[in-house]
Amino acid sequence: MTKQNDSKTKEIDKRIPEISHEGWGLVHGDYYAQLSNQQIMLEDTERTGMYHQSITLNMKDFMDKVVMDVGAGSGILSFFAAHAGARKVYAIEATEMANHAHTLVKANGLSGQIEVIQEKIEDLQLPEKVDIIVSEPMGIFLVHERMMEVYALARERWLKPDGKMFPSKGRIFLAPFTDNYLHSSHVTKTRFWENTEFYSIDVSSLAGTALSNYFSKPFVGPVDQNTLMAEPSSHEFNFLTVAPKDYAQFKIELNFTATSTGLMHGLAGWFDVHFEGTSYLGHLSTAPSSPATHWLQIRFLFEQPIAMNIGQKFSGTVSMTANNGRSYNMSLEGKLEDTDISIKQDFYLQNHQYWWHSSSKSEDAEPNPENYGLHTIPILQAKSRFSQK
């Protein structure tokens, strides 16, 4: 968030919801305290495998160091840190999952090395600062659930000046996509509100409102990389320097040059994170071209598609504003350069729904969530949490 002066900063701060929200904790705290949901995360081999490599292949960074695991969940990252030679690991977990983590630590004979603490980062008290912070704070589109703020807060309060973070930086990506099947299917759903004789009731006065409502909800699911129409634009966060309040409001600048001709039905989004260790540089990507993870990708549908010819440029911004739904209100403004065609549309990240078709072809077989390591359990951004809110 750009800060021009103290008075403007204070004014903005009053409009931005605080990190803690008890209502969020009632639902999500229970969700992340369930072993079945922790299992979804553990069995995400891309996620867990990259964390394992990035920690255990950087033993020079972890040997004899004090480590904090923020949002420890089952404690898996704490175990990796211990295996890499950490002298002391503080496993911080706010939910009841802390009890299960304690059981695993004791059963594996690491009680002298790993200390499980059930507490929120905001209220945490420790006897010392730490050399390294490890965490998995990423939500859908990186920032959904607003746990990146707490990751930054942990760094501000507990990391030594020359300390390391795993991961150390992350990027959000957006690219235009074409998918007539997804768009037409969604339009068809809104046609209900054009009904003038629904049990002798005319509901058509809500047709316009229904269209905006339906198209404000993003779709989470696999994206076929062949539906992308341009190279992505990105927005980067340096986790070693970003302040918690910087996540409250930020903008993603869009600059696309079409690599194919077709209808742009919306924007596809994903993220990646980097682990910058001394001996090994890790990279975890949720891009359509990368192996599937439980985060999948996300798509933001336009109410009105935009026709693009190869070589045409589209520019704009997506303004992100944190909300009380532990997520973000998103405002898109964009323009097809050298034309009068523009778009202005709002999205609400917390209202996302799932769409399992990865291609624009309607004849595709019904996708199976198990192909993405998700089994039949509805996923609710399954990740380790470090604050019960």
pLDDT in tens, 254-295: 999 999 999 999 999 999 999 999 999 999 999 999 999 999
Q: What is the mean pLDDT of residues 58-80?
A: 96
Q: What is the mean pLDDT of residues 197-215?
A: 95
Pairing of strands 130-135, 159-166: parallel
pLDDT in tens, 346-363: 999 999 999 876 554 433
pLDDT-derived band of residue 15, with 50, 70 and 90 as boundaries? very low
Question: Is 0.85 topped by the overall pTM?
Answer: yes
Residue 141 in contact with residue 326, Cβ under 8 Å? no
Q: Burial of 122 by CB count in 10 Å (0-12 exposed, 13-18 middle, 19+ buried)? A: middle
End-to-end CA distance of the chain: 24
Spatial strand order of the sheet with 249-257 comes to 249-257, 313-322, 328-336, 342-348
Task: Report which of 153, 389, 164, 126 is spatially closest to residue 115, judged by C-alpha positions.
Answer: 126
Task: Report which of 119, 84, 160, 104 is spatially closest to residue 388, judged by C-alpha positions.
Answer: 119
**CATH code of domain 12-372:** 2.70.160.11
Residue 328 one-letter amino acid? Y
Residue 46 one-letter amino acid? E
At residue 36, the pLDDT reads 79
How high is the mean pLDDT of the chain?
Answer: 87
Whether residue 371 is predicted with pLDDT greater than 80 in this model: the reply is no
At residue 384, the pLDDT reads 32
Q: What is the mean pLDDT of residues 108-122?
A: 96
pLDDT-derived band of residue 17, with 50, 70 and 90 as boundaries? low
